[in-house]
Amino acid sequence: MMRPATMIRNACLRNFSQSLRVGSAFLKSGDFCRYTSQAAASLQQDCEPSAYSDDESADHMDWDNLGFGLTPADYMYTMKCSNDYFEKGRLSRYGKIELSPSSGVLNYGQGLFEGMKAYRKEDGQLVLFRPDQNAIRLQTGAERMCMPSPSIDQFIDAVKQTALANKRWVPPPGKGSLYIRPLLVGSGPILGLAPAPEYTFLVFASPVGNYFKEGLAPLNLYVEDEFHRATPGGAGGVKAISNYAPVLKAISRAKNRGFSDVLYLDSVNKKNLEEVSSCNIFILKGNIISTPATSGTILAGITRKSIIEIASDCGFQVRYPLLFGTIR
């Protein structure tokens, strides 16, 4: 029998929502540039894909009611790899791709993805938030999954080209962002359990609003003590595609009971908070911010890293790890 749901009510997460508002204010401030990679701070300065940028705008979009659903932007980027060599990538219209039934990603889940956003500033300029950090995280994950990975420059160039080619889909300031999804998958055919012989790096995009319908309002999270997202020695610390399907059952069960998402406990002691299905977690109490340590079972979030850096600059203390019993 399922144990009763444990709720973290507004008393705890109201303070957490304040830290999210800090992030929103931070985006609007000049400090945003300080935490944006210099390599991609101004997307207009180079690699302008004029042949791909449509002149027509996306005026048909209801930017005020933009959720986190898929609205495919016009173009995607593809780069193939064999013998550890990545060929020159190219932009093409968003559409279906071909995969062998025996590809490594279909049979053994050999794949990674990243998630990042492009924003439109008040002056119309497009900016990316720390894309170099996504590139580094992809490289870390690729090493764990026995995959070659694009260089940091190749990664950023692919993301920049994709953002510029789809610039009409970047919402107006304050209305959302262009979500950019890089993928690295084992696309070559393989039968035995081994790394794929060929790989494909893809980047596509979609305009999005807030991930949670509540926006910056407090969330109700179901504290899961039956299912676990990751275990020590596993791949929970990288953004492997195989980490996400197993949590769908827990998410579905929580949402059917009126919760926003699931907050997972560690699989060993079942008392340490780890992370939510789709994000890291912070607990703000006074001048102290507590967050779980990234010790191999928690994804090293780029937003997480940025909040820690900002919090330290603002005089907050950051503590690890986070025990469930300490916040009840």
Whether the bond into 171 is cis, omega within 30 of 0:
no
The active-site residue, picked from 117, 160, 167, 239, is 239
Query: How far is it, in rounded angstroms, from Cα 118 to Cα 164?
Result: 10
Active-site residue 239, yes or no? yes
Calculate the CA 77 to chain-centre distance.
Answer: 18
Handedness of CA 101, 237, 256, 115 (dihedral sign): negative
State the DSSP code for 309. H
> Over 99-146, what HEC string results?
CCCCEHHHHHCCEEECCEEEEECCCCCEEECCHHHHHHHHHHHHHHCC
In terms of DSSP H, where are the helices of 145-210? 152-165
For 113-140, b/e burial (b = at least 16 CB within 10 A) is: bbebbbbbeeeeebbbbbbbbbbbbbbb
Catalytic residues: 239
